[in-house]
Structure 1
Amino acid sequence: MKQQSEEATALARVAEAAREVQAASAALEQHFDETTGSPPSTLQLARFAAAMQELKEARESFDALLGKSSGPSV
């Protein structure tokens, strides 16, 4: 039961990170759609980079958890 809860928590983290990447990406797309001619702000780029990093870490954590729960391969 505890393992299932850990997996659900890890999966929720991946889903939340994916949503944040999507939101940050949409903000960058909106910036470019406005054709302002100016580059995105440092904050927008940092938000996107941080969201991508969190998604990467969340996925790695989830994958490690699944590997641990499945046990050794035969």
Structure 2
Amino acid sequence: MVDEILRRPDPSGRYVIVVRRTSTSWEELKKLLKGYGLEVEEAGDVVILRTRSRRIAREVALQALKMGILDSG
């Protein structure tokens, strides 16, 4: 699933990670994301994260997968 996210960036050159918002997991992930400088767009029960860095996208996607909030799209 993570490799699918990292396969190709969107047309603006950013990797897009979609996570489901749950009360505890999202708050925990938000604390971890502070230093990454991601673009965050909250849309209902999902949160869209964008970054130009493949390394950061991989780290964030793996952490979200581990927490069980990575959305398969």
TM-score of the alignment, normalized to the shorter chain, above 0.5: no
Higher relative contact order (CA 8 A, sep 6+): 1
Q: Give TM-score, length-normalised by structure 2.
A: 0.30
